[in-house]
């Protein structure tokens, strides 16, 4: 967009070109305005409550707001809305102030029809949330704060395991001011229940809470559970395509990507699966977390497989940590077994399956039990599922990240309409199905890191009636990650005293 | 090492003599993304350039598909669009890619196809003028760019914006084929007929779906005196 500078009530202000009918004023691309004058708050102005509720604690684009440019401009002129630059020039390139991207390869420019600049720079890193370019202002709320209700009662009478109790108490007692805590809980420990009491306390102190997780599946699973136990609280879920983004919620469940929309919003940030893709290696998502929290905030990390850095920080007590080594049902974690699978890749290319795998597959098919078969890539996925389909006479399907039917297939698998599900590592977390066995085809491949294998093994034995699912790693030479994963699991079982 | 213009993953292209001496040109995408593209090759419809290998046999007659035959049988459309040629099949991946370009506004994605566009269409675009299908003023402002214009830029030739839209029409996708065909009013008009007269024109657009947009554009150009009109699209 282009803006003009003009005097309003004897103060220099800016206004979108399209709202000004004065051709003598020179319009310039928004990015070229070096100072953005902020008009003082006009206390007699009747601001729009809905705009306040949508915009409070966020930073959005014009396109994301269900208000006209006029309405937003009016709030700006009365000091209730602030405009800021989305893309800033730095000494060695650009910075996207929404996602924190500074990599020059993730900026591009185009000849822009809105600002008539032939080289309008935009950020490609956060393009999925709408384009932030040099000429698009980021809009935030600078009027009065939203006040939250204090009547948030927890409606839950389940019981915590002893491990959960310790972690829950730690969370409740630690926050209040700044601070952080890592809850290291094995897969199946029941980490959601650990959060309940802490969240209740925070909500009743008038604090705003966010649970951020890398995956949409987890948001979809958590939101109804939390809505059920906090029936009097306004809760909104944020993920690509969610419809609750305009709800003024005190408790937000969001994918890490959607955090880009927030600014200084949360007093308590709970980061789920802190080690998981893509959070762990995406600096800009860490930026999103740090932007979404208020200056004083409490950070709670949850993980079954914390990264090396995090474990180290926990060890030298820079990061307070509580462990829950025992599963909720009290039985040990199934320990993976390594099975020689020969040249699994070459055989696949020749249209053949390694004998030990074939043997397992046939037995599994006959047993009637469900199994997830993890593979290293989409190309292996396609070949393997085709071969499996030829060998066994049970319902087989496959799923990967880009699969448009992913959600439906996971539901079918849950409903036992699919018995054998071949998958990439995309389902290494989250999917919890009772009476399940797990196999990894080509476990020595690099994508199967220690934490990936621990998560994969964590799929098995989730129910107390079937706590001993099989976990088989078919390999062509043991990898270090395989050995580390097995030791990791054995150690956790030892710590749990079982 | 390069970065995929679609998914941003790093990749290195397999080395081969064909690539080295410029016989084989590929999009600036990683192997995974490139693998999800389906090139239009082999037998195609003489007019609309649709790939016959993925098209049911019963809907073709000789070297033409039924859709094109229907167009050609209608007197007012006979010979209006000489031919259309497309690079890729409009599959799920192409849909995602074009959505990212158009609806997210990621203009840079187009550049992945620049090498392929210029090498594939060098011959047919010789001594022709390139005209991108225009957007309405409002849509153009919303998006900030016209994807057809960006694509035309990849052909390394002068691009002439000789068409414009008359009015902001309803969303095309909401109408059925019949509604689109019967639509009396042509949405396009020629900006400068002098430049069109006796010229060979090549229209550029992102995707050929029913062919009515391109035919409407071709029609006003023919009426303005163009010698012949064909088209190029990224997907079909
Ligand atoms: Zn960005
Ligand atoms: Zn611009
Ligand atoms: Zn790619
Ligand atoms: Zn045809």
ipTM (interface predicted TM): 0.88
Helix (H) or strand (E) holding A90: strand A87-90
Would you call B144 and A378 a contact, using CB atoms and an 8 Å cutoff?
A: no
Query: Ligand 3 centroid to A378 CA: how many Å?
Result: 13
Of B32, B104, B141, the CB nearest to A127: B104
* Closest ligand by atom to A3 CA: 2
Return the beta strands (E) in A261-360 as ranges.
Answer: 266-271, 293-303, 321-324, 337-340
Q: How confident is the model at residue A79 (pLDDT cuts 50, 70, 90)?
A: very high
What pLDDT score was predicted for residue A278?
Answer: 46
What pLDDT score was predicted for residue A197?
Answer: 95
Rounded Cα–Cα distance for residues A33 and A89 (Å) = 12
What pLDDT score was predicted for residue A221?
Answer: 85
Q: How confident is the model at residue B178 (pLDDT cuts 50, 70, 90)?
A: low
What integer is the mean pLDDT of A400-427?
Answer: 90
Rounded Cα–Cα distance for residues B142 and A225 (Å) = 39
Q: How confident is the model at residue B17 (pLDDT cuts 50, 70, 90)?
A: low
Nearest CA in chain B to A124: B106
What integer is the mean pLDDT of A374-378?
Answer: 93
Report which of residues B19 and A176 the model is more confident about: A176
Residue A456 makes CB contacts below 8 A (sequence gap 6+) with A372, A374, A425, A428, A438, A440, A448, A471
**With 90 as the cut, is the pLDDT of residue A370 above it?**
yes
**With 60 as the cut, is the pLDDT of residue B172 above it?**
no
Of A105, A113, A128, the CB nearest to B140: A113
Residues from chain A contacting residue B146 (CB–CB below 8 Å): 113
Report which of residues B178 and A243 the model is more confident about: A243
Query: Ligand 4 centroid to B112 CA: how many Å?
Result: 27
Rounded Cα–Cα distance for residues A260 and A129 (Å) = 8
Query: Ligand 4 centroid to B177 CA: how many Å?
Result: 15
pLDDT more than 90, % of chain A = 68
What pLDDT score was predicted for residue A133?
Answer: 96
Q: What angle do CA A28, A102, A86 make, to 5 degrees?
A: 30
Query: Ligand 4 centroid to B198 CA: how many Å?
Result: 26
Residues from chain B contacting residue A404 (CB–CB below 8 Å): 92
Rounded Cα–Cα distance for residues A233 and B33 (Å) = 43
What integer is the mean pLDDT of A57-62?
Answer: 94
CA atoms within 13 A on the CB side of B195: 14
Question: Can you give the length of chain B in residues?
Answer: 236
**With 50 as the cut, is the pLDDT of residue B206 above it?**
yes
What integer is the mean pLDDT of A121-135?
Answer: 94
Q: How confident is the model at residue A336 (pLDDT cuts 50, 70, 90)?
A: very high
Q: In chain B, where does the domain assigned CATH 3.40.50 lie?
A: 38-235
Q: Which of B11, B144, B159 to mutate to test the interface with A (most CBs of A within 10 A)?
A: B144
Would you call A106 and B144 a contact, using CB atoms and an 8 Å cutoff?
A: no
What integer is the mean pLDDT of B183-193?
Answer: 84
pLDDT more than 90, % of chain B = 63
Which two three-digit tokens encode residue A350? 């020749």
Contacts 24+ apart (CB under 8 A), A216-225: A216/A240, A216/A255, A217/A407, A217/A410, A217/A430, A217/A431, A218/A272, A218/A273, A218/A429, A218/A430, A219/A253, A219/A254, A219/A255, A221/A430, A222/A192, A222/A253, A223/A253, A225/A192
Which two three-digit tokens encode residue A244? 């609750």
Query: Ligand 2 centroid to A102 CA: how many Å?
Result: 19
Report which of residues A342 and B174 the model is more confident about: A342
* Total CB pairs under 8 A between chain A and B: 44
What pLDDT score was predicted for residue A420?
Answer: 96
What pLDDT score was predicted for residue B61?
Answer: 87
**With 90 as the cut, is the pLDDT of residue B158 above it?**
no
Distances (CA, A) of A239 to A50, A116, A159, A265, B59: 21, 33, 30, 17, 42
* Closest ligand by atom to B141 CA: 2
Query: Ligand 3 centroid to A179 CA: how many Å?
Result: 39
What integer is the mean pLDDT of B210-226?
Answer: 94
What integer is the mean pLDDT of B167-194?
Answer: 69
* Closest ligand by atom to B28 CA: 3
What pLDDT score was predicted for residue B18?
Answer: 63
Would you call B100 and A378 a contact, using CB atoms and an 8 Å cutoff?
A: no
**With 60 as the cut, is the pLDDT of residue A10 above it?**
yes
- State how far residue A63 is from chain B, nearest Cα, in angstroms: 9
3-state secondary structure of B108: helix
Would you call B107 and A105 a contact, using CB atoms and an 8 Å cutoff?
A: no
Would you call B107 and A108 a contact, using CB atoms and an 8 Å cutoff?
A: yes
Rounded Cα–Cα distance for residues B179 and A103 (Å) = 47
Spell out the domains of chain A, with CATH numbers in brackets: 2-141 (no CATH), 162-324 (3.40.50.300), 337-495 (3.40.50.300)
Mean pLDDT of chain A: 91
**With 80 as the cut, is the pLDDT of residue A275 above it?**
no
What integer is the mean pLDDT of A457-471?
Answer: 91
Least confident of A207-216, B18-27, B128-137, B170-179: B170-179
Would you call B104 and A120 a contact, using CB atoms and an 8 Å cutoff?
A: no
Query: Ligand 4 centroid to B42 CA: how many Å?
Result: 14
* Closest ligand by atom to A115 CA: 2
Return the beta strands (E) in chain B as ranges.
Answer: 2-3, 10-11, 60-61, 64-65, 84-88, 129-132, 163-165, 188-190, 200-207, 228-235
Mean pLDDT of chain B: 88
Distances (CA, A) of A438 to A417, A453, A483: 17, 11, 17
**With 70 as the cut, is the pLDDT of residue A17 above it?**
yes
Rounded Cα–Cα distance for residues A353 and B214 (Å) = 50
CATH number belonging to domain B38-235:
3.40.50
Query: Ligand 3 centroid to A365 CA: how many Å?
Result: 36
Which residue from B134, B135, B131 is spatially nearest to B159, judged by alpha carbons?
B131
- State how far residue B94 is from chain A, nearest Cα, in angstroms: 13
- State how far residue B105 is from chain A, nearest Cα, in angstroms: 6
Nearest CA in chain A to B104: A130
pTM of the complete model: 0.80
Q: Which residues pair with B130 in a beta bridge?
A: B159, B202
Residues from chain A contacting residue B100 (CB–CB below 8 Å): 127
What integer is the mean pLDDT of A476-482?
Answer: 95
Would you call B105 and A113 a contact, using CB atoms and an 8 Å cutoff?
A: no
**With 90 as the cut, is the pLDDT of residue A140 above it?**
yes
What pLDDT score was predicted for residue A426?
Answer: 83
Q: How confident is the model at residue A279 (pLDDT cuts 50, 70, 90)?
A: very low
Of B32, B106, B141, the CB nearest to A113: B141
**With 80 as the cut, is the pLDDT of residue A138 above it?**
yes
Of B3, B104, B106, the CB nearest to A105: B3
- State how far residue A404 is from chain B, nearest Cα, in angstroms: 9
Would you call B108 and A110 a contact, using CB atoms and an 8 Å cutoff?
A: yes
Rounded Cα–Cα distance for residues A243 and A223 (Å) = 13
């Amino acid at each position: 967009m282009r803006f003009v500078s003009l005097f309003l009530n004897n103060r220099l202000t800016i206004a979108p070109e399209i709202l000004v009918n004065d051709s003598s004023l020179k319009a310039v691309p928004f990015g070229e305005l070096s100072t953005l004058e902020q008009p003082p708050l006009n206390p007699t102005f009747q601001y729009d409550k809905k705009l306040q509720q949508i915009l409070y604690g966020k930073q959005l684009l014009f396109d994301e707001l269900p208000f006209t440019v006029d309405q937003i401009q009016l709030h700006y002129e009365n000091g209730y809305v602030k405009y800021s630059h989305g893309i800033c020039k730095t000494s060695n390139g650009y910075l996207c102030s929404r996602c924190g991207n500074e990599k020059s390869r993730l900026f591009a420019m185009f000849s822009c029809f809105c600002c008539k600049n032939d080289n309008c720079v935009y950020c490609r890193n956060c393009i999925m949330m709408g384009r932030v370019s040099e000429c698009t202002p980021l809009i935030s709320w600078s009027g009065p704060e939203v006040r939250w209700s204090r009547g948030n009662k927890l409606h839950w009478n389940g019981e915590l395991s002893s491990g959960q109790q310790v972690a829950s108490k730690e969370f409740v007692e630690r926050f209040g001011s700044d601070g952080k805590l890592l809850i290291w809980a094995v897969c199946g420990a029941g980490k959601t229940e650990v959060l309940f009491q802490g969240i209740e306390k925070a909500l009743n102190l008038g604090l705003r809470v966010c649970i951020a997780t890398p995956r949409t599946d987890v948001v979809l699973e958590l939101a109804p559970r939390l809505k059920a136990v906090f029936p009097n609280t306004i809760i909104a879920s944020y993920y690509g395509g969610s419809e609750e983004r305009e709800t003024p919620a005190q408790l937000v469940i969001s994918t890490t990507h959607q955090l880009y929309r927030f600014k200084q919003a949360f007093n308590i940030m709970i980061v789920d699966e802190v080690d998981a893709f893509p959070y762990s290696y995406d600096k800009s998502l860490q930026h999103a977390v740090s932007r979404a929290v208020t200056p004083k905030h409490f950070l709670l990390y949850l993980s079954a497989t914390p990264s090396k850095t995090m474990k180290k920080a926990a060890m030298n007590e820079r990061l307070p940590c509580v462990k829950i080594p025992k599963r909720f049902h009290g039985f040990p974690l199934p320990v993976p077994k390594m099975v020689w699978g020969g040249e699994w890749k070459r055989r696949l290319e020749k249209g053949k399956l390694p004998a030990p795998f074939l043997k397992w597959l046939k037995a599994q098919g006959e047993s009637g039990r469900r199994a997830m078969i993890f593979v290293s890539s989409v190309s292996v996925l396609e070949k393997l599922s085709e071969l499996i389909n030829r060998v066994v006479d049970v319902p087989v399907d496959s799923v990967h990240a880009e699969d448009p039917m992913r959600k439906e297939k996971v539901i079918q698998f849950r409903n036992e309409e699919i018995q054998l599900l071949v998958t990439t590592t995309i389902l290494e977390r989250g999917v919890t199905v009772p009476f399940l066995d797990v196999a990894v085809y080509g476990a020595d491949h690099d994508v199967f890191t220690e934490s990936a294998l621990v998560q994969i093994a964590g799929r098995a034995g989730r129910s107390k009636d079937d706590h001993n699912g099989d976990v088989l790693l078919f390999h062509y030479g043991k990898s270090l990650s395989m050995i580390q994963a097995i030791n990791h699991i054995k150690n956790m079982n030892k710590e749990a005293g079982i | 090492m390069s970065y995929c213009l679609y998914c941003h993953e790093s990749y290195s292209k397999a080395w081969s003599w064909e690539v080295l001496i410029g016989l084989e040109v590929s999009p600036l995408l990683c192997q995974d993304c490139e693998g999800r593209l389906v090139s239009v090759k082999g037998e195609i419809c003489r007019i609309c350039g649709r790939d016959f290998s993925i098209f049911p046999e019963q809907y073709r007659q000789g070297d033409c598909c039924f859709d094109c035959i229907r167009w050609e049988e209608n007197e007012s459309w006979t010979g209006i669009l000489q031919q259309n040629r497309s690079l890729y099949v409009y599959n799920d991946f192409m849909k995602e890619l074009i959505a990212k370009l158009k609806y997210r506004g990621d203009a840079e994605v187009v550049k992945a196809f620049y090498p392929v566009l210029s090498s594939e269409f060098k011959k047919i675009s010789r001594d022709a003028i390139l005209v991108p299908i225009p957007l309405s003023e409002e849509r153009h402002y919303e998006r900030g760019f016209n994807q057809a214009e960006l694509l035309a830029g990849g052909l390394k030739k002068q691009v002439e914006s000789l068409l414009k839209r008359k009015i902001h029409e309803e969303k095309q996708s909401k109408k059925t084929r019949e509604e689109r065909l019967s639509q009396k009013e042509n949405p396009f008009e020629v900006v400068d007929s002098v430049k069109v007269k006796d010229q060979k024109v090549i229209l550029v657009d992102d995707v050929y779906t029913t062919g009515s947009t391109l035919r409407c554009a071709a029609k006003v150009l023919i009426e303005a005196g163009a010698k012949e009109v064909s088209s190029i699209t990224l997907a079909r």
